[in-house]
Structure 1
Amino acid sequence: MKLNATQLAAVKRQTGADPIEDGSDAHGQLSEAFGDHTFYVSEVGLLVPEAVEAEGADPVELILVAQWTDDKREAMERIPPKQTGYVLDAGAAEA
């Protein structure tokens, strides 16, 4: 799922996380590997948002699609998509 500007701002307010910038080399490589998504890197690995049925204006769950291969977090390996249970309201109005 590719987030729009409003959704990006809502996720930023709720998590403090910035996505990998569109147009960057990393984003291009990730898009080739995983499709057209908004990508977030976390302490557990690479996350992408997916629409879910839940309360909220625009609920999305962050799905883990790659994990770090070592404690130094220098490389990741692709894994089968794994639900994180972390559901955000990507349509939440700014408070």
Structure 2
Amino acid sequence: MNMRLSEMQTQRVQDHTGASVVPDDNPSMPLLKQNFGDHTFFLDNEGLHVWEAVDDDPSDGAKLVGVRIASWSEGEEKALVPHDPAPSHVLEAPDAES
């Protein structure tokens, strides 16, 4: 499933995880989209993630699940190693978050 997050969803992910968005003008973006689809990509200390709405309605308030698609090699944040998608985080709908 390809999914670009809205600005509100992107901000929610950043606020709750501390992850940074990979900007659209990043030189790696064409290769990321070719290999993983058109997503909003995030980097954090665990690696590269995409986020998807769990609910059928991908509104700003939907429950989101993060999926790590690449991890940092040997614990260093210098090179990413792609792997099978692995669930990483869940953000409940805003009214369910405390």
Whose relative contact order is higher, 1 or 2, with alpha carbons under 8 Å and at least 6 apart?
1
RMSD between aligned alpha carbons? 2.2
Q: Which structure 2 residues correspond to residues 53-92 of structure 1 after superposition, within 5 A?
A: 53=55, 57-84=61-88, 86-89=89-92, 92=94
Aligned residues: 89
Which residues of structure 2 form unaligned runs of 5+? Answer: 56-60
* Alignment partner, residue 40 of structure 2: 38
Compute the TM-score of the two structures, normalised by the length of structure 1. 0.76
Letter in 1 for 2:10: L
Letter in 2 for 1:18: S
Q: Distance in 2 between matches of 1:45 and 1:17?
A: 9
Alpha-carbon shift at residue 12 of structure 1 (Å): 2.2
Could you tell me whether the CA contact under 8 Å between 2:54 and 2:65 is conserved in 1?
yes
Which residues of structure 1 form unaligned runs of 5+? Answer: none
Q: Distance in 1 between matches of 2:39 and 2:85?
A: 13
> Deviations along 1:25-57, whole A, 9 cap, x unmatched?
12222112211111111222111102225xxx3
